Structure 1
Amino acid sequence: KPAALWVVPRVGTISPWSSKATDILHDCGFAIRRVERALAVELERAPQPGSAGWQAVVGILHDPMTESILTRLAEFDRLFDVGAALPLGRIALGNDPQVALEAANRRLGLALAADEIAYLAENYAVLDRDPTDAELMMFAQANSEHCRHKVFNAEFTIDGEKQPLSLFAMIRNTHKQSPAHTLSAYKDNAAVIAGNVGKRFFADPESGVFAATSEAVPYAIKVETHNHPTAISPYAGAATGSGGEIRDEGATGRGGKPKAGLTGFSVSHLRIPGLQRPWEPERALPPRFATAYEIMRDGPIGAAAFNNEFGRPCLGGYFRTYEHGTDETGLLRGYDKPIMIAGGLANLRPSHVEKRTLQPGDCVIVLGGPAMLIGLGGGAASSVAAGTSSAELDFASVQRDNAEMQRRCQEVIDACCARGADNPLVSIHDVGAGGLSNAIPELLNDSNVGGELELQRIPSDDPHLSPMQIWCNESQERYVLGVRPADLPLFESICARERCPFAVVGHATVERRLVLTDSRFPIPDSRHHPIDLPLEVLFGKPPRMQRNSRRIVEKLSIIADTEGIELHEAIERVLRFPAVGSKSFLVTIGDRSVGGLCSRDPMVGPWQVPVADCAVTLNDFSGQAGEAMAIGERTPLALLDAAASARMAVGEALTNLAAAPVRLDEVRMSANWMAAIDHPGEDVALYDAVRAVGMELCPALGISIPVGKDSMSMQV
């Protein structure tokens, strides 16, 4: 009798398919709690469970980060188990607060530095109480390298000489020297650039009739990275990378409309099973990471799927494989931890470029999907060197995508923006790293107010979650908003029309204090509050990072050994190398025309060859003005000269962009910086690269860099 096993979503999680299918069945009147999907597999001869053969079979059949294997039908009950809610955790500081906090730091994977632990111990001594696990996780996310950019704000001393400027100050110098055409820089989810005049279609709020409105069309630009989640689970990591960047655009100002995107991947040599190339020697790979082949098999599909399902064309990108070993040092450089970038542009209305200020009493709203045990601690997990966290914490930072829910949210944002001066959105932020624990304090802090919030009002699909998990999970497709009480009925009607879930979770207060209550404890008692913290503690100024570094000149051998390679074989090797070969497989998987405003996509000519140097979008359906975007990428050159690598990347982006009729003084860039920052010499190389671009090249060209992203934990 054939043996059967079932591949199901990882026990304890809810799949995106389940969320969508359950919604549909509920709308059709079915009284069910949840529906899930499983893949049944029959094996003629099954290896003994637990044996090496069994592990090999199930390893092929499922991704352990997102799926589980069941061998008996009775085990399906585990998929729908609903346990009791986990309790709020409190960390007893005792006689030695720093030791207690260090233990919590390791157990919860907070990635706090020693000076941050000392800062917390000092502040909780002033508060005269023990911290909750929700407070510590919130602090860790809000103050992670991912969110606070500690390296870019650090004070550098190189070869004993104190440097006058931080990395961020040198980037800001580009905007200081060339501020023209930039409407918003360094203060929002994306930079906003002045655009041309166009005729945009909006539905009249009362009649619902679409009409053209002639107005200036500013555009937001942003490029994000999603390296750690893509290394752990390529499809979900790349999908939510694109989804998070789309939310950044939509949450810029008082609401933007995403227009076109790009994606890019850097990985180590592919080592395709059965097709390994002579330049791909066998070596040990990180056990908890997907292989380069798995990343390029699944990651681009994930990114394209989210863009397709959301309804945004993907018009640009890049793909590189690279490894370099040195006999002199035995050091191997490559992209076992990949680079996954997602970027794009969105249009805004001129009156919506700047966020407004929340007033005490304004509603704090969560828009979008429910809380689940997804992406817990992702901001901290992506801020540490790969392999230094536990496998359980790696899984906890895996995310899941639901583009259909994000589309509903975007329709709500679009409807609000269509009202022009009557837009009910006072301020908006997307929910990303750290979940609500990062987004809501950011929303309040921007307006210099505090907030009183209720935990049980936060929508959740998992009654098993603890207060910390509800507050800090990174369930995707969510935004936090500020809305005046008088505009709440209007906002409710828009959400009802778009079938978009939302919840009023609290209100803004005069006192700059964040209080999160739990109505399961009816007696007001701060001992039961998951959060009761002055915002000054959360957003205070822990000691500034100090980096004392020395310049290291590595002796690198970059000349290939070509002995015995015939010319024809050398030509074939070059043409088959991924950085040289066709990238059409990355292009054809994505919709390149949705929205109707794409003028130049990657495919060129009657045979549709993907050789376009840049992407071009239009402002409207009748004019010829619009936006052009291009990519420059020259990472391998940094092994020889980091400053030259940065200059070459800028040069490549500009020469690619020159295929469109652009003016140099109107060019604005998003700069993305990747480094294994704790490896000797890497921080100095980064400093050289940023200085070359921020203090020399871009100011000389009149180009500014009003936005960007840094990923400092590329070491494996």
Structure 2
Amino acid sequence: AYFVRTWTLQAFYRLYLSDCHTAEQLSNLLASCRDACPPVESVATERCFYVQCSQQLSPEQQCQLHYLLGTDKTSSQLSASSESSSVEAAFHGAYRAEVGPRLSVTTAFSTNCVAICSGIGLAPPVQRVESSIVYRFVYNRLLSNWPDSVVHRRLTEFVHSDKLCDRMTQSVYPAPLTADSYRSELLRCPPQPVFEVDVCGRGREALAEVNATMGLSMDDWDLDYYTKLFAETIGRNPTSVECFDLAQSNSEHCRHWFFKGRLLNASTREPLLGNKYPHLMALVSSTLAESASNSVLAMCDNSSAIRGLRVPVLCPVDPARGSELRLLPDPQLRHVILTAETHNFPTAVAPFEGAATGAGGRIRDVHATGRGGYTIAGTAGYCVGDLDERFAVEGYAAGMARPRRVLLEASDGASDYGNKFGEPLIAGFCAHSATSFKAASVGNGGGIGALDDGLVAKRPAKPGDLVVKLGGPAYRIGVGGGAASSVGVQGEGGAAADELNFNAVQRGDAQMGGKLNRL
């Protein structure tokens, strides 16, 4: 993220919770670990909580924090020391690893914890709560001729693999974080100052430099257009924030320019769709003229809507706070919102988060329809290649998840976001093919919502109106354009394409999405 929030750190607590995995999860983890390092005999885990406070907590507040992070059953197991530091027997060796979130962006877990702390009187002292997992691998020196250095190298590679660490949002901590190392990690990614881009003085060259350094993925047409817009039409320099926002909001990912582009036959230069349809959008929307007598919204908003019915409606007495619900005296006309979203590239890169943010984006589309819609339920579907991965390796790009992982983790991600937001996932589909989806996957989400008849049309914008963007921290998805989410996502080929790009996949924060929806 380009803009990182800073906090005042006066008190720092580190708490450990043992047995954070079930026996089945540990068994699966051990089996996976032994594939990489056979001498490993056992693996144990514990969860570590890092709590950042603006002041020291009183004994009573510490008890509240322990109760919150533990629960009735496990609060007694919270400890300020780690069990993974215990000394192993002479013929056994141990390897400790800790995987936690990158601290430059606040996680959804922290958002939820701080909100609960605020509700029970622990905020503002509690400003942030992050959680990591500590792994302790024990291996037998007698049953293997592997030296410790080889075992440690193999385990290091395993811990850094996608089996334990999401390289986009997590990192492997070399040692438990202390107040000093925690502060240093935060300061390593300071907020970047806003600056002007000297388009009026230096022209296109100044914008091209910012495009390269900030990774905006503007093409030649974008550079020419924005240079003329600011230098000649508006008559002032753009700020770095404006350039970043324009690159994102006006990208192919957000605007779908391709669908209104002219498609020509490469050989004859004749229109590919004939004279009747100048572009793909005209072809897609042509059905409306023939069969859309019940259409209320189509091809003009975040979602489509069809004519609904008059239904009894419950409304809060005071919408600004929690209050009594009362039945309105007369039934209200509510239309049915229908929406769908594909999240193919993000789901292939990081299945859980790709599917979760696909669900989040679709939910946002429902409540951003007209002047505010209501979410009801969601659907999900996945199409992948051959599930027998012995025959599904060829053709997959580096960093792309295999079919089995997509099905398992994407399904969990979509359900997880819906459950935390409060929208049930009620239906879906799954398909796999060794030919149709040989080296790609499709992640599709659908949604049903409702829209009041009086809120169908957005009010027109007027000169001087202020534009306000609401939401939580997110990764830079959709910057630029291209076949996937954006050019910036795909890299420039070679080593750049092989290395995971942090712009590829957003991270879901269903709690923040819920707050935005209620607002």
Which TM-score bucket, shorter chain as reference?
Answer: 0.5 to 0.7
> Are residue 55 (structure 1) and residue 166 (structure 2) matched?
no
CA contact under 8 A between 2:373 and 2:450: conserved in structure 1? yes
Q: How many Å apart are 1:102 and its aligned residue?
A: 4.0
CA contact under 8 A between 2:338 and 2:449: conserved in structure 1? yes
Structure 2 CA distance for partners of 1:139 and 1:408, relative to 1, 3 Å: closer
Classify the secondary structure of the residue corresponding to 1:306. Answer: helix
CA contact under 8 A between 2:382 and 2:441: conserved in structure 1? yes
Q: How many Å apart are 1:407 and its aligned residue?
A: 2.6
Equivalent of 2:228 in 122, 130, 135: 122
- Residue matched to 2:107: 15
C-alpha distance in 2, partners of 1:138/1:364? 12
Classify the secondary structure of the residue corresponding to 2:258. Answer: coil
Equivalent of 1:37 in 131, 134, 147: 131
Match of 1:142, as an amino acid? S
Q: How many Å apart are 1:223 and its aligned residue?
A: 0.4
Alignment of 1:659-670 (within 5 A): none
Equivalent of 1:251 in 347, 351, 368: 368
Structure 2 CA distance for partners of 1:20 and 1:400, relative to 1, 3 Å: same
TM-score, with length taken from structure 2: 0.68
Stretch moving more, 302-311 or 159-168: 159-168
> Are residue 302 (structure 1) and residue 405 (structure 2) matched?
no
CA contact under 8 A between 1:217 and 1:348: conserved in structure 2? yes
- Residue matched to 1:217: 334
C-alpha distance in 1, partners of 2:294/2:419? 31
Classify the secondary structure of the residue corresponding to 2:386. Answer: coil
1:149-198 Cα deviation digits (max 9, x unpaired):
22210112223323422111122222233341111222211112101333
> Are residue 143 (structure 1) and residue 250 (structure 2) matched?
yes
Q: How many Å apart are 1:363 and its aligned residue?
A: 6.8
Q: How many Å apart are 1:20 and its aligned residue?
A: 0.8
Structure 2 CA distance for partners of 1:200 and 1:161, relative to 1, 3 Å: same
Alignment of 1:133-282 (within 5 A): 133-158=240-265, 159-162=268-271, 163-164=274-275, 165-205=278-318, 208-211=324-327, 213-271=330-388, 276=390, 280-282=391-393
C-alpha distance in 1, partners of 2:387/2:210? 39
- Residue matched to 2:32: none
> Are residue 318 (structure 1) and residue 429 (structure 2) matched?
yes
Stretch moving more, 178-187 or 195-204: 195-204
C-alpha distance in 2, partners of 1:341/1:33? 36
Structure 2 CA distance for partners of 1:96 and 1:290, relative to 1, 3 Å: farther
Structure 2 CA distance for partners of 1:300 and 1:65, relative to 1, 3 Å: same
Equivalent of 1:395 in 489, 502, 505: 502
CA contact under 8 A between 2:253 and 2:478: conserved in structure 1? no
CA contact under 8 A between 1:232 and 1:394: conserved in structure 2? no
Match of 1:186, as an amino acid? M
> Are residue 352 (structure 1) and residue 469 (structure 2) matched?
no
Q: How many Å apart are 1:233 and its aligned residue?
A: 1.8
1:68-110 Cα deviation digits (max 9, x unpaired):
1113124675445443432224445699744554444344332
Classify the secondary structure of the residue corresponding to 2:327. Answer: strand
Structure 2 CA distance for partners of 1:132 and 1:361, relative to 1, 3 Å: closer
Match of 1:302, as an amino acid? G
- Residue matched to 1:113: 219
Aligned residues: 395
Match of 2:217, as an amino acid? A
C-alpha distance in 1, partners of 2:486/2:312? 43
CA contact under 8 A between 2:249 and 2:255: conserved in structure 1? yes
Structure 2 CA distance for partners of 1:407 and 1:32, relative to 1, 3 Å: closer
CA contact under 8 A between 1:65 and 1:232: conserved in structure 2? no
Classify the secondary structure of the residue corresponding to 2:168. Answer: coil
Structure 2 CA distance for partners of 1:98 and 1:270, relative to 1, 3 Å: farther
C-alpha distance in 2, partners of 1:145/1:360? 26
Residue ranges of structure 1 left out of the alignment (5+ in a row): 325-332, 413-716
Q: How many Å apart are 1:251 and its aligned residue?
A: 1.4
Alignment of 1:419-498 (within 5 A): none
CA contact under 8 A between 1:47 and 1:53: conserved in structure 2? no
CA contact under 8 A between 2:254 and 2:478: conserved in structure 1? no
Report 1 or 2 for greater relative contact order, CA contacts < 8 Å, sequence distance ≥ 6. 1
CA contact under 8 A between 1:192 and 1:353: conserved in structure 2? no
C-alpha distance in 2, partners of 1:49/1:107? 41
Structure 2 CA distance for partners of 1:146 and 1:49, relative to 1, 3 Å: farther
Q: How many Å apart are 1:133 and its aligned residue?
A: 2.7
C-alpha distance in 2, partners of 1:255/1:281? 44
Q: CA RMSD in A?
A: 3.2
Structure 2 CA distance for partners of 1:82 and 1:72, relative to 1, 3 Å: closer
Classify the secondary structure of the residue corresponding to 1:61. Answer: coil
C-alpha distance in 1, partners of 2:282/2:97? 57
Structure 2 CA distance for partners of 1:103 and 1:377, relative to 1, 3 Å: farther
- Residue matched to 1:4: 96
Structure 2 CA distance for partners of 1:48 and 1:120, relative to 1, 3 Å: farther
CA contact under 8 A between 2:382 and 2:430: conserved in structure 1? yes
> Are residue 408 (structure 1) and residue 515 (structure 2) matched?
yes
> Are residue 86 (structure 1) and residue 195 (structure 2) matched?
no
Match of 1:157, as an amino acid? L
Structure 2 CA distance for partners of 1:124 and 1:226, relative to 1, 3 Å: same
C-alpha distance in 1, partners of 2:366/2:449? 6
- Residue matched to 2:143: none
- Residue matched to 2:394: 283
Structure 2 CA distance for partners of 1:103 and 1:300, relative to 1, 3 Å: same
Classify the secondary structure of the residue corresponding to 2:490. Answer: coil
Match of 1:155, as an amino acid? R
Classify the secondary structure of the residue corresponding to 2:380. Answer: strand
CA contact under 8 A between 1:231 and 1:337: conserved in structure 2? yes
C-alpha distance in 2, partners of 1:337/1:385? 19
Match of 1:315, as an amino acid? I
1:230-281 Cα deviation digits (max 9, x unpaired):
2222211111110111111111112111112111112232345xxx4xxx25
Residue ranges of structure 2 left out of the alignment (5+ in a row): 1-86, 88-93, 140-147
Classify the secondary structure of the residue corresponding to 1:157. Answer: coil
Structure 2 CA distance for partners of 1:303 and 1:258, relative to 1, 3 Å: same
User: What percent identity do the matched residue pairs reach?
Assistant: 28
C-alpha distance in 2, partners of 1:55/1:320? 33
1:355-400 Cα deviation digits (max 9, x unpaired):
2345678775555x54x3x222434371339633547882134322
